[in-house]
Amino acid sequence: MLTLTHPFLEGSSQGKSILFFGLMGTLLLFYPFFNFDGRIMKTLKNTSFVFSNSSRNYLKITIIVILIAYLIGLALEILIRAKYGVSIFTTFVSLNPTLNTSGIVHSHIYKSMIGALVTYLGLYVPPSIHTGTSLISYVSPLAYIVFILFPLAYITGIISLNERKDINRLILAFSLTTALIGIFDGGLFSIPAVIGLAGLLGVYSIKKVPSFKDLVKPSIIIILIIIIRFSILIAGTNTDYYEITVIEPMKTIEIPGYDIIDMKTENNKTIIQIKSNENEKQILNNMNAILKNKCSAFFISWNFWAWFY
């Protein structure tokens, strides 16, 4: 499953593959129950004029709700960095009990809410499925809004499958699934989000008589999101050194094997600058081993160009 889903889910976790097939399967399985001529939709329509028989309107609501979730997620990422006085161009790394990361270009803010739910319910989750548990204590309670936005987007998305050709219904189910997964794992600038939004906006823009002109606006929006992602990566890149901000260090911090340019302590933070040609993933793995049991979390700057060394 990982081999099949990796190109569009951007990850190695089995959880995302299971979630993908589960979500897409239930979307296609349950949408007949929300047929405009069925009991559920007739009851809702009699309740309020809001529940109109327009699949396009429901798709519009779905897109808006998903975008709101993405934007709130970005705001929460900025809040974490503002709290500790660090740059937004950093990756946040929590270590206890296991390593979890989150950043502007690939956010796991809402994934921590899954961890909170799993912990509250006392459910067992295999170690191969990451739930972002170690991020919980650093995330604002506002993140719990995902438990409202996600179901809302899911239900309106199901209703939006009404009165569509089979191919459009399949594209919509696939796009909605990847966009919903992007909420929990990746955020607005992730591959699942970009692919999902591309499909949702594309289907929304296509008129009864399809034309390539219908896809111009959604294409521009998706291209802008991609450009913003790479602009953030490049703007935040520091090629001179990696800056590691250790939060509430418990012990004296030593970074063996690295050329330390500068190290200082201020406001219960230890700020370390190291010289390295390694990419961010290599640095993160090494820092996990070095800083484990010495702090609960740290921030690290990035070097986009190091991925090409």
CATH classification of the domain holding 273: 3.30.70
Whether residues 211 and 285 share a domain: the answer is no
User: Maximum Cα–Cα distance for the chain, whole Å?
Assistant: 70
Kindly list the strands in the beta sheet with 269-275, ordered across the sheet, starting from the edge strand earlier in the chain: 100-102, 90-94, 297-301, 242-247, 269-275, 259-266
Whether residues 121 and 164 share a domain: the answer is yes
Whether residues 117 and 172 share a domain: the answer is yes
Which tens digits make up the pLDDT trace of 255-285? 898 999 999 988 889 999 999 888 888 899 8
Do 302 and 230 meet the contact criterion of CB atoms below 8 Å apart?
A: no
pLDDT at 120 exceeding the cut of 80: no
Which residue among 222, 253, 273 closes a domain?
222
Q: How far is the CA of 24 from the CAs of 20, 258, 277, in angstroms?
A: 6, 46, 41
Q: Does 185 fall in a domain?
A: yes
Which tens digits make up the pLDDT trace of 37-85? 888 888 887 776 667 778 999 999 999 999 999 999 999 999 999 999 9
Whether residues 183 and 264 share a domain: the answer is no
Q: How far apart are CA 6 and CA 115, in angstroms?
A: 22
Q: Does 91 fall in a domain?
A: no
What domain range includes position 296? 242-308
Q: How far apart are CA 184 and CA 70, in angstroms?
A: 9
Whether residues 134 and 276 share a domain: the answer is no
pLDDT at 129 exceeding the cut of 90: no
Tokens found for residue 125: 């989750």
Tokens found for residue 146: 């995902």
Do 10 and 190 meet the contact criterion of CB atoms below 8 Å apart?
A: yes
Whether residues 64 and 178 share a domain: the answer is yes
Whether residues 29 and 121 share a domain: the answer is yes
CA angle 6, 17, 287 (to 5 degrees): 65
Whether residues 198 and 252 share a domain: the answer is no
Beta carbons within 10 angstroms of residue 249's beta carbon: 16
This prediction has a pTM of 0.92
Q: Is the dihedral of CA 112, 113, 114, 115 positive or negative?
A: positive
Which residue among 187, 222, 257 closes a domain?
222
Whether residues 252 and 304 share a domain: the answer is yes
Whether the ω angle into residue 97 lies within 30 degrees of 0, i.e. cis, is yes
Whether residues 138 and 210 share a domain: the answer is yes
Q: Does 254 fall in a domain?
A: yes
Q: Does 89 fall in a domain?
A: no
Q: Does 229 fall in a domain?
A: no
The helix/strand count (H/E) of the chain reads as 10, 6
- pLDDT in the model for residue 12: 56
The H or E element containing residue 271 is strand 269-275
Q: Residue 163 in 3-state DSSP?
A: coil
Whether residues 40 and 176 share a domain: the answer is yes
Whether residues 263 and 162 share a domain: the answer is no
